[in-house]
Amino acid sequence: MLCSTMCADLVLSCTQVLATCCSENLGVMLLSMCASVIGACVDSPHCLPVIIKSNILSEAVERLSRASDARDLPRVVAWIEVLMCCSVGKEAQTALIKGAKGMLEVLVRVRGDWKRESSVRLRILMILRNLAFLPAAKSYILAEPGCVAALLDELKSDPVHISEGHRCR
């Protein structure tokens, strides 16, 4: 019980820091570290409900969109990492497709906005790949016309523009 309470407190603190990073101009490194903590805790049955209740998934989609509009690459990558961390594991994937409204549309748009940036493209593809392991998410992905077009576009893309140095989860 103590462990689950500590985990819940840690996740709650990280979601509060993420919210602060949104409203204030705190460092991207702090944002990335909190995303990593969320990702590490997302598999815990005690922590996932806290993550879901915190509304951080919808917030991440909204902040990703804003960061892309502002042409702020470090924040774009950091917010994609929040979503990417939550795209692993059945319960987290289900929470992501149910709790992050408009996520696919934003991911497709951000991918288009940052087409020459392999760190963005590969992370977005990793989210789609991870979600595709969830049977319910397959129809979710295929129902979004932009996702299908983006995947086809990636198949046609020049592999030279994809850097080997960008490894995703």
What are 117-136's pLDDT values in tens digits? Answer: 988 999 999 999 999 999 98
pLDDT value at residue 18: 61
Average pLDDT over residues 104-113: 94
DSSP string, 59-116: HHHHHHHHHHHTT-HHHHHHHHHHHHHTTSSHHHHHHHHHHSTTHHHHHHHHHHHTTT
Element (H, E) at 120: helix 118-132
**Residue 166 is assigned to a structural domain of this protein:** no
Band of residue 58 on the pLDDT scale cut at 50, 70, 90? confident
**Domain limits at 19?**
2-161
CB atoms within 10 A of CB 148: 13
Q: Please, what sign has the CA dihedral across residues 160, 162, 166, 168?
A: negative
Predicted local distance difference test score (pLDDT) of residue 44 = 76
Instruction: State yes or no: pLDDT of 51 exceeds 90.
Output: no
169 domain-assigned: no
Number of domains in the chain: 1
| Residue 113 lies inside a defined structural domain of this protein | yes
Are residues 26 and 20 in contact, defined by beta-carbon separation less than 8 angstroms? yes
Residue 127 · residue 147 · CB < 8 Å: no
Model confidence, pTM? 0.79
Domain of 14, CATH number, reads 1.25.10.10
Average pLDDT, stretch 22-50?
72
Query: Cα separation of 147 and 111, whole Å?
Result: 10
Within-domain flag for 89: yes
Amino acid, single-letter form, for residue 49: P
In a domain, 167, yes or no: no
Q: pLDDT at residue 25 above 60?
A: no
